[in-house]
Structure 1
Amino acid sequence: MEAGIQILQKAEAAKLYKDLIIQLNKDFLRAGIADQFGEKLTPEALVRNLTATLYTTIVSDFEAYLNLLYVIDVSESKIKKLPQQEVHEFALAVSALILEREFVKVSFKNRNE
């Protein structure tokens, strides 16, 4: 959870926290996953909600989970480097990778505006 929170704190410091949540919501919809995240969530709540959504998706619709990773463009090599672990721990690690990728996207987008 700590890695995801640190990424979100960087986003807050760069004034990109809201943009990150908007991008996350947009990518979830593009992947066909209806779950959305409120723009007023604390970093802790966002990581918790994202992890719960990922856990549910991994367990109930693995194809949707893979599609989400594709839409967000999470590095396949980073996913493969994750150690074997329980599904809830794996979902937490993947949530940090997703937040990291979304932060890179919004940082790049805002640098060019």
Structure 2
Amino acid sequence: MQKPEALSSAVNLFEEATSLNLFKNLVVQVEKDFNLASVDLEIDTIESTTPNSLLDGIESKIYYLLQYDTSTYINLLYIIDVPEHSIKYLKAENLEQFSKDISFLILKRCWMKVWYKANY
């Protein structure tokens, strides 16, 4: 079992969450955080959400927010508590890649919350 900070990709994160039977908890945490920021994630029900559909939902919503609603995007990052220094070091070449990188940071932070609740 890896500490959440050590995960290097969404695939690793999903494998870890699934192996620990915490994937549904991750979906619940992501939805909770997005709802706190008044952002509709538009994913399936918790039971039918797959890792790919969760990641796609987050990426498309972040891409949209970056283009059309920057203040909501910033508020979302604040509510989720994505570390500012993590964002500063992203080296994306375009908006699509940047939204994917931010989506991973969001997933990673939500996973940290779930992992710590389950372990402490």
- TM-score, normalization by structure 1: 0.91
Q: Aligned letter for 2:85?
A: S
Q: Does 1:7 align with 2:2?
A: no
- Given candidates 103, 113, 119, the residue that maps to 1:105 is 113
In structure 2, stretches of 5+ residues that fail to align are 1-7
Where 1:105 maps in the other structure, the secondary structure is helix
Would you identify which runs of 4 or more consecutive aligned residues in structure 1 move more than 6 Å? none
- What residue in structure 2 maps to residue 81 of structure 1? 89
Q: Aligned letter for 2:40?
A: A
Measured after TM superposition, the shift of residue 84 of structure 1 is 4.0
8 Å Cα contact 1:25/1:36 also seen in 2: no
Aligned-partner Cα distance in 1 for 2:110–2:25: 9
Q: Does 1:70 align with 2:78?
A: yes
Over the aligned positions, Cα root-mean-square deviation in angstroms equals: 1.4
Deviation track 1:25-61 (CA, whole Å, cap 9, x = no partner) reads 0100101112243322221222112101110111110
Deviates more, 1:27-36 or 1:57-66: 27-36
Measured after TM superposition, the shift of residue 90 of structure 1 is 0.4
Measured after TM superposition, the shift of residue 8 of structure 1 is 1.4
Q: Does 1:32 align with 2:43?
A: no
Aligned-partner Cα distance in 2 for 1:87–1:20: 26
Aligned-partner Cα distance in 2 for 1:46–1:52: 10
- TM-score, normalization by structure 2: 0.86
8 Å Cα contact 2:82/2:109 also seen in 1: yes
- What residue in structure 2 maps to residue 53 of structure 1? 61
Where 2:116 maps in the other structure, the secondary structure is helix
| Count of aligned pairs between the two proteins | 111
Aligned-partner Cα distance in 2 for 1:77–1:36: 28
Measured after TM superposition, the shift of residue 3 of structure 1 is 1.6
In structure 1, stretches of 5+ residues that fail to align are none
- Identity, in percent, stands at 32
